[in-house]
A and B are shown apart, each in its own frame.
Chain A
Amino acid sequence: MLDLLYAGASLSFNLHALTLTTLGILGGLIIGVLPGLGPLMGIVLLLPLAFHLPPIPAMGMLIAIYIGGSAGGSISAILLRVPGTPLAAATLFDGFPMAQKGRAQDAVGLAMTSSAVGGLVGGLVLVFLSPLLAKFALRFAPPEYFAMAVLGVLTIALVSEGSALKGLLAGGLGLFLSMIGTDEFTNAYRFTLDSFRLSSGPHLVAVVVGLFALSEVFFQIQTGNLLARPNVQRLKVTFSALKILARHKVNLFRSSMIGTFFGAIPGAGGDVSAFISYATAKKLARAEEKYGEGAEGGVVATEAANNACCGGALIPTLSLGIPGDASTAVLMGALILLGFFPGPDLFRDHPDVAGGIFIAYLMGNAILLLLGTLLAPVFGSVLIVRKAWLLPAVLLLSTLGTYALQSSVFDLWVMLAFGLIGYIMRRAGYPLAPLIIGMILGSTMESNLRRSLLLSQDGLMIFVERPISALILLIDLVLLVAIVYSTVRSSRPSGAGKEVAALP
């Protein structure tokens, strides 16, 4: 594998490539920060630029947008409680409380550094373990995806501890949203009320932006203090985030591995990995770390996972020719456009290109580490702006980011509707995150259940005949029993008063 890197080195280490990668990271960060636009839209919108560049710098730039876009969403989540992308929906659990406690710069710095380090871990796995993981990914078929989706849905109970029932209802709403649209098996229109605008369901991003950004704008206006000049800690460039990160070595490594794993399985996705990694970190944490109230570990867990996922997702893309997620599908399209076909051929016929992409990915993360640290105070300074300026800006950016997805005004109405739904849910103490988890995993769960049954020659047996699926389902079962047990115990009279305000 090192010879690959060597072959690609001359293509990647030149001023042109370096500049484009840096610009890509910067552009990606900004696109990630803007509510609505994420790495996928960033790549799609800037792809035409890449047509006119030489292959390696072009891929370097697109991959850099992918990396920056995956990290950037955390910044708005931390500072404004508005996740810039669904990937960062779990980052605000602890990132926002951290900022509220006056540690905005620490939180942003930590998010950037854990993203970069997580990305680098994912990158090392990509470089050295690609063939192994790619082989493993091939053993993931519909039954395994179904079992995995159930596991993801069960984490709802973990992230909404203290109000498990409300979490389940919110998750149910998410599952329902995922059912709206054209059923992919019968092509029947389901729950669309005969409107073609709903024929692919409400757009996930419009829902996320509405739930979090719009409801937050509403809350902030209600709370008042719109003209007060916020008191923010002095912001300066420091490398203290790296020191903090060093205290979370185990968490960092585990989360990076979770992220890489989920990336390597096509179709699992970074947002899911962030939630699962967060839930795991929270379960394994000591009580005094106080997850949900500004724990550093929470930011590390989500950000390391969702950026490691980028490296993971490149594994099947490059070594199997099967994209790991929607963003890598577009990256793959770009690579083909530039004249190179991913898959084993790429490594054999164009080792310089394969190596160049590896280097571009590693370099992108290194640049993210540097840029993220340098820019943390700049982003943090957003908090100095008075709310009377800031809130209209958030509203307009949310509107533009959501509109840009499909050039659709209808999506803006969806966004507004979910702003109101999010507001009601928050006032009634419902957690919002389960809704997102349900919506992301709903179609994975349903379609893979039905696909498994079609594939199976003997009904439900397919789930237990396959070792990996059986193992995951066993874990699901244990988790379910544990959750039911703890819910029943906590809803006894003595436990009732203990129900605390849910996570956002």
Chain B
Amino acid sequence: MKRLFVLATAVWLASSSVHAEFPERNIENIYPWGPGATMSASQIIADAMGQELGVNVSVVSTPGAAGTKAFLTALDKPADGYTIIDGYVAPLVLQPMLGKADWTYNDFTPLWAATSNSFAIAVRKDDDRFADFRALIAHAKDNPGKLRYSPGVTDALPHMVAAKVMQTSDVVAQVVPYPEIDNAVKDLRGGILDFVVINPGVYTTNKDELRVLAVLSDLEDASKTYGGAPLVGSFDVDLGMTGLAPMGWNWWLIHKDTPADVAAKLQDSMGKAVARDEVKQKLLDMGYVPLGYGPDKYKEVVAPVAADLKSGIDAIAWEKDKLKSTK
């Protein structure tokens, strides 16, 4: 009798799902880092997108393996459009280049680009050893391997960009990984670190205590998110990476085998969500710059980034060798 009931329910639900239009249940966005301020940025977009679709889009934090765990988890689920990958550049492009993942950016169907944020080198506000970026480089040159800095986690984008800058300037400092950049900022303020590589969100919460020496980007807009601090190029340092390459960004993706009509619906609703003024404003307030690239721009934007990142990866290897030889 009960089996009958269950069966009846199942048949009823199954039949209703065949005729219903996508989406008829909640959607998940698999987010590759731990919960925190950055996750809120994704939640803003998810919330707006959910309103467009008429269902809830929940952001599920699945940290691990430098972000690739989230990708693998999402790829493990059916390609039915109910699972979105929050495609951060590190697991999307960087990890495959490091040989830690076996996909390329071509293996996904893109929705819209979400946000970007540039990185910057910052020191304590009252640290009078470093009047400007040149002073920092000069100090590092005189004391090879003595300065201690944190880019957050190692082998990720901020680390790569910082290593690249140091390689170009031919100086080396001891890298100290922190899983949460907030804690690195705390230790910078406590005096145990000499400089950190931060994002605009960190800058905004700590701007009374930090001084940004150089913004690691070639885009004038990036300087704005750090209160007008100078770009690294203004100190005659060639970053060797342009546009989005030295930045953190995420592009929402879905499984390649997702049916075209489902993909179109998701692309459309995300496009509307990121075009909303209040969404843009909220993201900007948090230090994240909405990108506004649609699915058609995906290849055009991502391909050059992938090429540029190669030099960054070499920079990390260079840093490793250099640190060993100074010891």
In chain B, positions 132-161 with a C-beta closer than 8 Å to chain A are 146, 148, 153-155
Partner of B61, one of A51, A182, A345, A406: A406
The answer to whether A322 touches B186, judged by C-beta atoms less than 8 angstroms apart, is yes
- CB 8 Å contact bits of B31-64 with A (1 = contact, 0 = none): 0001111111001101100000000101011111
Partner of A337, one of B44, B153, B204: B44
The answer to whether B177 touches A185, judged by C-beta atoms less than 8 angstroms apart, is yes
The answer to whether B69 touches A199, judged by C-beta atoms less than 8 angstroms apart, is yes
Interface residues on A, range: 35 or more
Central interface residue in B47, B56, B64, B183, by most chain A CB within 10 Å: B64
Number of A-B contacts (CB under 8 A): 144
Chain A contacts for B39, CB-based, 8 A = 330, 333
The answer to whether B72 touches A196, judged by C-beta atoms less than 8 angstroms apart, is yes
Known: A187-B154, A196-B69, A406-B62. 19 other contacts (CB 8 A): A47-B43, A48-B56, A51-B47, A189-B65, A196-B64, A267-B183, A321-B206, A329-B37, A329-B182, A330-B35, A330-B36, A336-B286, A337-B43, A337-B44, A339-B285, A407-B60, A451-B176, A454-B174, A455-B176
Chain A contacts for B177, CB-based, 8 A = 184-185, 451
Q: Does A489 contact B (CB under 8 A)?
A: no
Q: Does B282 contact A (CB under 8 A)?
A: yes
Question: CA A212 – CA B207 in complex, angstroms?
Answer: 45
Q: Given A407-B60, A451-B176, does the pair A196, B146 have CB atoms closer than 8 Å?
A: no
Question: CA A266 – CA B184 in complex, angstroms?
Answer: 11
In chain B, positions 184-198 with a C-beta closer than 8 Å to chain A are 185-187, 189-190, 192-193
Question: CA A138 – CA B155 in complex, angstroms?
Answer: 27
Q: Does A334 contact B (CB under 8 A)?
A: yes
The answer to whether B190 touches A140, judged by C-beta atoms less than 8 angstroms apart, is yes
Chain B contacts for A197, CB-based, 8 A = 69, 73
The answer to whether B65 touches A185, judged by C-beta atoms less than 8 angstroms apart, is no
Question: CA A455 – CA B178 in complex, angstroms?
Answer: 12
Chain A contacts for B64, CB-based, 8 A = 181-182, 196, 199-201
Chain A contacts for B291, CB-based, 8 A = none
Partner of A322, one of B34, B153, B183, B208: B183
The answer to whether B40 touches A334, judged by C-beta atoms less than 8 angstroms apart, is yes
Chain A contacts for B250, CB-based, 8 A = none
CB-based nearest A residue for B153: A184
Q: Given A322-B186, A332-B37, does the pair A457, B206 have CB atoms closer than 8 Å?
A: no
Partner of A342, one of B44, B174, B205: B205
Partner of A451, one of B47, B178, B205, B207: B178
Question: CA A245 – CA B40 in complex, angstroms?
Answer: 40
Question: CA A48 – CA B186 in complex, angstroms?
Answer: 29
Chain A contacts for B37, CB-based, 8 A = 329, 332-333, 336
The answer to whether A142 touches B66, judged by C-beta atoms less than 8 angstroms apart, is no
Q: Does A326 contact B (CB under 8 A)?
A: yes
Q: Given A48-B43, A196-B65, A336-B37, does the pair A341, B204 have CB atoms closer than 8 Å?
A: yes
Q: Does B201 contact A (CB under 8 A)?
A: yes
Closest beta carbon of chain B to A42's beta carbon, Å: 12
CB-based nearest B residue for A342: B205
Closest beta carbon of chain A to B72's beta carbon, Å: 4
Chain B contacts for A320, CB-based, 8 A = 186, 189
Question: CA A412 – CA B253 in complex, angstroms?
Answer: 27
Question: CA A45 – CA B26 in complex, angstroms?
Answer: 13
Q: Does A323 contact B (CB under 8 A)?
A: yes
